[in-house]
Amino acid sequence: MKPAPFKYIAATSLEEALSYKEQFGDEARFLAGGQSLIPIMNFRLAHPGILIDINGLTDLSFISQNGGGVSIGALARHGDVERNTVVASSHAIACEAIKEVAHPQIRNRGTLCGNLAHGDPASEMPAVMLALQARFKAKSATGERWISAPDFFQGVFETSLAESEMLTEIELPEQEENSGSCFIEIARRRGDYAIAGVAAIITLDEQDRCRSARLAFCGCGETPLSAELTQQNLVGESIDEQIARAAGESAAKELDPANDVQADAEYKRHIAAVLTKRALLKAGERAQKIRLQSE
Ligand SMILES: Cc1cc2nc3c(=O)[nH]c(=O)nc-3n(C[C@H](O)[C@H](O)[C@H](O)COP(=O)(O)OP(=O)(O)OC[C@H]3O[C@@H](n4cnc5c(N)ncnc54)[C@H](O)[C@@H]3O)c2cc1C
């Protein structure tokens, strides 16, 4: 299928892109990698009158170290993040999860910010952003603001970005010492959206007990979801098979999956529990290895 007719504007600066968005509002969409926008336009699920192409704004393709944290610009492609050695050492879970997004060709074109702005609750990276406690910079022609990950994702394909705003940057804060992480999902085929997936981050104390835990899920609700109560209950525990299994069962109860074309809600809860157990054990093991190496 072909998209409905639209006007195309290639922005030559951030200011110009933002001023067009201010002028045209909801009638216009930013075009980043086009890996979500163009398919939905071709299926006539979206028919923006104007596309503002931001691919010329190469200043926004940065991935830079920011103390112990990392800043990622609007034009950084999935593939750039996947292959970035700084991200791999400071926020390994982002590289591990991004490999599950689609296929290499799509990752070479699609951007992380475009993926997050699209707001698909089945996407891997929104859950990873929740687990990493990322912050999002939204910029408009009149100002800028920072939005926390839980406030950013509002519903199915819905974010808190205003009509006039662009997501220009993501900030991944420094992770605590002795932290290990793991992302796992189940998808029908390699490269498909997950039926369900979990991002787990565990920080250990000197006795290898859990100092803090973060668990965030994709495909299990209208937005990426954290299992807040389960996270709290893990504090002080040694992450063994029994604790991880109980945490999986508890986390599954905190989720809100719906029946969809891929699986029913009951199956999603079941796999969320199983994946949580596996992810916690792996994250705990990785955290312990990091702690022992730092001794
Ligand atoms: C075959 C296939 C399989 C896929 N599988 C997966 C998968 O398994 N998991 C997954 O998560 N994704 C998957 N995707 C989607 C892919 O990850 C997209 O690249 C990504 O979702 C969107 O990034 P983009 O840069 O292409 O954004 P675009 O398609 O250009 O834009 C998407 C939306 O975000 C808006 N937008 C883009 N950038 C910004 C910005 N900086 N600020 C504000 N709004 C912005 C656009 O206006 C549009 O509404 C798949 C895509 C395809 C084609």
Going by the DSSP 8-state scheme, the letter that residue 209 receives in this structure is B
Q: Extract long-range pairs of 27-33: CB within 8 Å, 24+ residues apart.
A: 28/52, 30/54, 30/114, 30/117, 30/166, 31/55, 32/74, 32/75, 32/110, 32/111, 32/113, 32/114, 32/117, 33/77, 33/106, 33/109, 33/110, 33/111, 33/114
Q: Which of 14, 30, 164 to mutate to test the pocket of ligand 1 (most atoms within 8 A of CB)?
A: 30
Is any atom of ligand 1 closer than 6 Å to the C-beta of 35? yes
Structure tokens at 11: 């922005």
**98-147 per-position pLDDT tens digit:** 999 999 999 999 999 999 999 999 999 999 999 999 999 999 999 999 99
Helices 241-254 and 265-293 meet at what angle, rounded to 10?
140
Is any atom of ligand 1 closer than 6 Å to the C-beta of 107? no
Q: Would you say the CATH fold of 63-171 matches that of 7-53?
A: no
**235-284 per-position pLDDT tens digit:** 999 999 999 999 999 999 999 999 998 899 999 999 999 999 999 999 99
User: What's the mean per-residue pLDDT of the chain?
Assistant: 97
Q: Which of 72, 106, 112, 120 to mutate to test the pocket of ligand 1 (most atoms within 8 A of CB)?
A: 106
Question: Is 80 exceeded by the pLDDT of residue 1?
Answer: no
Q: Which CATH number fits domain 7-53: 3.30.43.10, 3.40.50.1860, 3.20.20.150, 3.40.630.10?
A: 3.30.43.10
Can you tell me the mean pLDDT for 177-188? 96
Structure tokens at 236: 């002080």
Query: Counting every residue, how long is the chain?
Result: 295
CATH architecture type of domain 63-171: 2-Layer Sandwich (3.30)
Residue type, 206: E
As a whole number of angstroms, the longest Cα–Cα distance in the chain is 63
* Domain over 179-290 is classified CATH 3.30.390.50: yes
Going by the DSSP 8-state scheme, the letter that residue 174 receives in this structure is P
Is any atom of ligand 1 closer than 6 Å to the C-beta of 106? yes
* Ligand 1 atom closest to 31 (CA): 30
Reduced to 3 states (helix: H, G, I; strand: E, B; else coil), residue 240 is coil
204 beta partners: 210
Protein residue with its CA nearest to atom 46 in ligand 1: 30
Q: Which of 36, 47, 158 to mutate to test the pocket of ligand 1 (most atoms within 8 A of CB)?
A: 36
Tell me the domain boundaries of the chain. 7-53, 63-171, 179-290
Protein residue with its CA nearest to atom 3 in ligand 1: 102
Can you tell me the mean pLDDT for 157-178? 97
* pLDDT for residue 295: 78
